[in-house]
Amino acid sequence: TIYRASTTAPVNIAVIKYWGKRDAKLNLPTNSSLSVTLSQDDLRTHTTASCSSTFSGPDTLLLNGSPQDVSGARTQACFKALRGLRAELETANPSLPKLSTYPLRIVSSNNFPTAAGLASSASGFAALVRAIANLYELHSSPTALSQIARQGSGSACRSLFGGYVAWDQGSAADGSDSLAREVAPASHWPEMRALVLVVSAAKKGVSSTTGMQTTVATSALFRARAEDVVPKRMAEMERAIAERDFDAFARLTMRDSNNFHAVCLDTEPPIFYLNDVSRAAIRLVECINAAAGKAVAAYTFDAGPNAVIYFLEQNAGLVAGTFKTFLGHLDGWQTELGNKLAGQAG
């Protein structure tokens, strides 16, 4: 018998960024973060996990057709946690097949460029963890799975939920209170849209993991960001979402993106994620908002030059139209928000 389960997980784009670890092994952050989950129709990772007593050799993972190294500590931490939960079930119910002892075969594909700063590790680890949890019939809650996915990649814990998602940094040394939670479902603000502009699909220069470790070690601005700036913004952002206050949502989003990239520039050696096209996108949003007399569009950038622009459906013509006119040569997606996760065992 070959046991098999498939799932998909969405991409999330932070509006309050995670940048800095207080524990690099458990992936525990120095600040809380908040993200928006995008629709899986446009951006997602699809993953199938299978196992069998007839499989031999080590666990394997294929991503977009290429074999990946699974010996790294992060993937191993996820496999170990999931196998541990399955082994508990098998001990409690000895008639269950001993799936925890079988080699895993994982096949994963993204419908967007990997490592282009498009949060592929987030949807990737979220899908990996949920596919194996489904295979093992764990019936764990998204919160419980978020703890495991976080060890694969911090931002992955937020991709276990739809809509608006917070990752509370927590204070426990073992990470037991460093969890993702839903702030609001996508249906709370159905007019929200995201425009993803692929400025460059090339692999990013400095990985998030390396970049944030260097920032924590060298940046003088970093402490203010983690201790003062972000805690205040988390509360303001939750209020802006609760009240569907787009102007406040947009201003906080843009300021937090800029604060994060300022901290990157303040790192030694400096880290540059934005390029001239990214800066053109920032200017375009500033022009659109100045002409509207309030913020009707918000830009944000992760660890790469690609822009994500948030706006409301009623301003789609203005915002997406202006981008088409001025930066129409760029590839990308205009997408809605993702409400819930797709795909159970099958």
Interface with ligand DP6 (CB under 6 A), residue total 15
Q: Is 208 in the site for ligand DP6 (CB under 6 A)?
A: yes
- List 302, 305, 311, 319, residue binding ligand DP6 (CB under 6 A): 302
| Residue 8, phi then psi, degrees to nearest 5 | -125, 155
Q: How far is the CB of 330 from ligand DP6 (least distance, A)?
A: 20
Q: Which is nearer to ligand DP6, 77 or 89 (CB)?
A: 77
**CB nearer ligand DP6, residue 18 or residue 310:** 18
Between 51 and 254, whose beta carbon lies closer to ligand DP6? Answer: 254
**Residue 304: CB minimum distance to ligand DP6, A:** 9
| Choice from 39, 48, 121, 278 touching ligand DP6 (CB under 6 A) | 121
Which CB sits closer to ligand DP6, 26 or 296?
A: 26
Nearer to ligand DP6 by C-beta: 75 or 121?
A: 121
Q: Residue 332 interacts with ligand DP6 (CB under 6 A)? A: no
Query: Would you give the binding string for ligand DP6 spanning residues 124-153, x where CB under 6 A is met?
Result: -----------------------------x
Which C-beta is closer to ligand DP6: that of 136 or that of 164?
164
154 binds ligand DP6 (CB under 6 A): yes
DSSP conformation letters of 199-239: S--SPPSS-HHHHHHHHHHH-SSHHHIIIIIHHHHHHHHHH
What DSSP assignment string belongs to 106-169?
A: EEEEESS-TTSSS-HHHHHHHHHHHHHHHHTT----HHHHHHHHHHH-GGGGGGGS-SEEEE--
Interacting residues of 36 by C-beta distance below 8 A, sequence separation 6+: 12, 13, 15, 163, 164, 165, 192, 194, 310, 337
Q: Give the contacts of 162 (CB within 8 A, at least 6 positions apart).
A: 10, 37, 182, 185, 186, 337, 338, 339, 340, 341
Retrieve residue 324's tokens. 């088409």
Residue 120's contacts (CB-CB under 8 Å, 6 or more residues apart) are 11, 45, 110, 112, 113, 114
Map residues 157-196 to x or -, x wherever contact with ligand DP6 holds by CB under 6 A.
----------------------------------------
Four-point Cα dihedral 4, 74, 158, 334, nearest 10: -80
Least distance (Å) from ligand DP6 to the CB of residue 14?
Answer: 3
Exactly one of 155, 178, 267, 335 binds ligand DP6 (CB under 6 A); that residue is 155
Q: In the numeric block, which tokens belong to residue 246? A: 């787009």
Does residue 225 belong to the site contacting ligand DP6 (CB under 6 A)? no
| Count helices and strands in the chain by DSSP H and E runs | 9, 15
Question: Which of 7, 8, 27, 40 is the binder for ligand DP6 (CB under 6 A)?
Answer: 27
Sign of dihedral through CA atoms 204, 269, 308, 234? positive
CA atoms of 26 and 160, how far apart (whole Å): 18
What is the smallest separation between the CB atom of 55 and ligand DP6, expressed in angstroms?
28
Choosing from 9, 11, 14, 61, the residue that interacts with ligand DP6 (CB under 6 A) is: 14
Exactly one of 6, 8, 10, 18 binds ligand DP6 (CB under 6 A); that residue is: 18
**Angstrom distance (rounded) from CA 217 to CA 324:** 41
Instruction: State yes or no: residue 33 binds ligand DP6 (CB under 6 A).
Output: yes
Residue 219 in the binding site for ligand DP6 (CB under 6 A): no
CA-to-CA separations, 62 to 14, 46, 49, 133, in angstroms, rounded: 27, 12, 10, 18
By the criterion CB under 6 A, which residues form the site for ligand DP6?
14, 17-19, 27, 33, 119, 121, 153-155, 208-209, 302-303
